[in-house]
């Protein structure tokens, strides 16, 4: 293991050294899905990342790239069925953590305007800086397990 992957938070989580509420929700040998770590910014905020240390979409293998689109769709569907959000945001910056990771955020209908769109990340910053969960961790575990169960169901052909 090189130094980069030994200190990378995403790589450490992929190795099970850091565990999110509900643990791994999905792992197909290419991609891993988890709830955000504590302190959580909201219930249902998920993070999808490749198991391999990758820092750019351009660096994905063909197999990883082909799997990504359908997987994002399945996760969004599972989030819709579980949480019934007004929208599911998908965001990729990989700035604070260089390892490519996609935030999948359930935007509730009653989320204040000041926390919508890219401003939703103020909630992530607030949780990190205060060290306090902004959502109920037990509920996050329940939601994570419900999403895991939905993702474990076989997809219908063409679905």
Is residue 23 in a domain? yes
Is residue 159 in a domain? no
Q: What is the mean pLDDT of residues 56-66?
A: 97
Q: What is the mean pLDDT of residues 45-74?
A: 97
Sign of CA pseudo-dihedral 39, 124, 94, 111: positive
Closest CA to 46 of 81, 17, 75, 12: 75
Residue 94 is predicted with a pLDDT of 84
Tokens of 91: 């965001």
7 CB neighbour count, 10 Å cutoff: 10
* CATH number of the domain to which 39 belongs: 3.30.428.10
Model confidence at 1, pLDDT cuts 50, 70, 90, reads low
> Cα-Cα-Cα-Cα dihedral of 90, 159, 34, 23, to 10°?
160
Q: What is the pLDDT of residues 121-138, one digit of tens each?
A: 999 999 999 999 999 999
Is residue 158 in a domain? no
Residue 129 is predicted with a pLDDT of 96
Residue 159 has pLDDT above 60, yes or no: no
What pTM does this model have?
Answer: 0.93
Is residue 50 in a domain? yes
Closest CA to 53 of 3, 90, 100: 100
Is residue 32 in a domain? yes
Is residue 125 in a domain? yes
In the chain, pLDDT over 70 holds for what percent of residues? 95
Domain total in the chain: 1
* Structural domain boundaries, residue 91: 3-152
Residue 106 has pLDDT above 90, yes or no: yes
Is residue 141 in a domain? yes
Q: What is the mean pLDDT of residues 69-83?
A: 98
């Amino acid at each position: 293991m090189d130094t980069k992957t030994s200190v990378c938070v995403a790589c450490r989580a992929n190795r099970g050294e850091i565990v999110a509420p509900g643990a791994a929700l999905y792992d197909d040998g290419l991609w891993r899905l988890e709830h955000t770590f504590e302190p959580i910014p909201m219930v249902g905020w998920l993070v999808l990342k490749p198991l391999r240390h990758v820092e750019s979409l351009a660096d994905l293998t063909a197999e990883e790239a082909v799997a990504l689109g359908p997987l994002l769709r399945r996760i969004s569907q599972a989030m819709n069925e579980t949480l019934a959000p007004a929208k599911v945001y998908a965001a990729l910056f990989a700035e604070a953590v260089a390892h490519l990771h996609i935030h999948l955020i359930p935007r509730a209908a009653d989320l204040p305007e000041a926390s919508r769109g890219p401003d939703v990340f103020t909630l992530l910053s607030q949780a990190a800086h205060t060290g306090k969960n902004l959502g109920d961790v037990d509920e996050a575990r329940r939601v994570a397990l419900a999403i895991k169960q939905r993702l474990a169901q076989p997809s219908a052909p063409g679905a």
